A and B are shown apart, each in its own frame.
Chain A
Amino acid sequence: MNKNNLLLYSGILIFGIAAPFLLPAFKVQLSILCVLIVLATTWNIQGGEMGYNSFGNILFYGLGMYLCASVQVGMFFPLAEWTESGGEKTFVHTPAQFFQGMAVGLIVAAVVPTIVAGLIGYSILGLRGHYFAICTLGLGVAAGEISGGIEIIGAGQGFTTPPFPDVGSLESRGEFFYFLSFFVLILTFIAVRGIYTTRFKLILNAIRDNEDKAEAMGIQTMKYKIVGWMISAFFCGLAGGIMGGLVGYIDSTDVAFDGREMGVFMVLMAILGGKGTLWGPIIGATVFHIFKEGFWTFFLGWQYVALGVLIVVIVIYFPEGIMGWLREKYPERFGEVVDEKDRKAQVELK
Chain B
Amino acid sequence: MDFMVFQYPMISVQACLDGILLGILFALIAYGMALQWGVMNIINIAQGDLVILGGYIAYFMYLYGIHPAWGVIVSPIIMFFVGIAIYKLVINKVVDRDLFISILATFGISILFMQLMNFAFGADVVLANSDYGTTMLFNNNVVLPNSKIFSAFISILFAICLVIYMKKSKLGRAIRATAQNARAAKILGVDTEKVYAATFGINAALCGVAGALISITFTIHPYMGLPYTIRSFMIVIIAGLGNLPGVAMSGMGLGVFEEFADYILGTEFRIGSVFLLLVLILVYRRFKLSRKREYLK
Contacts and interface: CB of A to CB of B under 8 A. Distances in A.
A271 to B, nearest CB: 7
Contacts of A180: none
Nearest to B100: A53
Contact of B101 (A137, A156, A319): A319
Interface in B268-287: 268-269, 271-272, 275-276, 278-279, 282-283, 285-287
Nearest to B278: A138
B145 interface: no
Interface in B92-141: 93-94, 97-101, 103-105, 107-116, 118-119
Interface in A133-157: 133-135, 137-139, 141-142, 144-146, 148-149, 156
A138 B287 contact: no
Interface in A278-317: 301, 304-305, 307-312, 315-316
B94 A315 contact: yes
B26 to A, nearest CB: 16
B275 A156 contact: no
Contacts of B275: 138-139, 141-142, 145
A193 interface: no
A264 B271 CA distance: 20
A63 B70 CA distance: 47
Contact of B103 (A126, A133, A139, A316): A133
B180 interface: no
A148 B283 contact: no
Interface string B198-235: 00000000000000000000000000001000100100
Nearest to A305: B115
B243 interface: no
Interface residues of A, number: 39
A308 B222 CA distance: 15
Contacts of B94: 315-316
Nearest to A131: B282
Contacts of A146: 269, 272, 276
Given A134-B282, A304-B115, A271 B108 contact: no
A163 interface: no
A138 to B, nearest CB: 4
The range of chain B's interface size is: 35 or more
B268 A156 contact: yes
A319 B105 CA distance: 11
A309 B90 CA distance: 10
B197 interface: no
A127 B278 CA distance: 13
Given A126-B290, A138-B230, A312 B112 contact: yes
Interface in B248-297: 266, 268-269, 271-272, 275-276, 278-279, 282-283, 285-287, 290
Interface of B is mostly: helix
B269 A149 contact: yes
B43 interface: yes
A309 B112 contact: yes
B269 A312 contact: no
A115 to B, nearest CB: 18
| Central interface residue in B90, B119, B275, by most chain A CB within 10 Å | B275
Contact of B99 (A130, A141, A142, A149): A130
A82 to B, nearest CB: 21
Given A126-B290, A134-B43, A311 B104 contact: yes
A315 B272 contact: no
Most chain A CB within a 10 A radius of its CB, from B110, B111, B276, B290: B111
A231 B94 CA distance: 31
B99 A126 contact: no
Contact of B286 (A123, A304, A316): A123
Given A149-B268, A149-B272, A308-B115, A141 B226 contact: yes
B183 to A, nearest CB: 21
Contact of A267 (B90, B93, B99, B104): B104
A139 B111 contact: no
Q: Which 4 A-B pairs have the closest CB atoms?
A: A308-B112, A311-B108, A145-B272, A142-B275
11 contacts: A123-B286, A129-B99, A133-B100, A134-B278, A138-B230, A145-B272, A156-B268, A260-B111, A308-B108, A308-B113, A311-B111
Given A123-B287, A130-B43, A305-B116, 11 more contacts: A123-B283, A126-B286, A126-B287, A130-B100, A133-B100, A135-B279, A141-B275, A145-B268, A308-B108, A312-B112, A316-B101
Interface of B: 43, 90, 93-94, 97-101, 103-105, 107-116, 118-119, 226, 230, 233, 237, 266, 268-269, 271-272, 275-276, 278-279, 282-283, 285-287, 290
Interface of A: 53, 123-124, 126-127, 129-131, 133-135, 137-139, 141-142, 144-146, 148-149, 156, 260, 264, 267-268, 271, 301, 304-305, 307-312, 315-316, 319
